[in-house]
Amino acid sequence: MRNALHAEWTKLRAGGGMVPLLLLAVVLTAAVSAGTAAAVRCPAPGCGEDDVRLSLSGIVVGQAVVAVAAVLTVTGEYATGMIHTTFTAVPRRLTAFTAKAAVLSAAVQAAATLAVLASLLAGRYVLPGNGFTAENGYAPLSLGDGPTLRAAVGSVLYLTLIALLSLGVATTVREGATAIGIVLGLLYLFPVVGQVVHDPDLQRLLQQLSPMSAGLAVQSTTDPDRLPIGPWEGLGVLTAWTGAALLAGGVVLRRRDV
Averaged over 166-180, what is the pLDDT? 93
Averaged over 87-116, what is the pLDDT? 88
Tell me the per-residue pLDDT of 206-217, one tens digit each, with 9 for 90 and over: 888 899 999 999
Question: What is the pLDDT at residue 7?
Answer: 65
Q: Does residue 19 or residue 14 have the better pLDDT? A: 19
pTM assigned to the model = 0.93
Tell me the per-residue pLDDT of 129-159, one tens digit each, with 9 for 90 and over: 988 888 888 889 999 999 999 999 999 999 9
Question: What is the pLDDT at residue 258?
Answer: 57
Domain map (residue ranges) of the chain: 2-255
Residues 49, 50, 52, 55: what is their CA dihedral angle, to the nearest 10 degrees? -40
Tell me the per-residue pLDDT of 50-66, one tens digit each, with 9 for 90 and over: 999 999 999 999 999 99
* Averaged pLDDT of the chain: 89
Q: Which of 39-43, 73-77, 89-93, 128-132 has the lowest mean pLDDT?
A: 89-93
Strands, DSSP E only, in 141-205? none
CA atoms within 13 A on the CB side of 93: 14
Residue 234, C-beta contacts closer than 8 angstroms, at least 6 positions apart: 208, 213, 214, 215, 216, 217, 218, 227
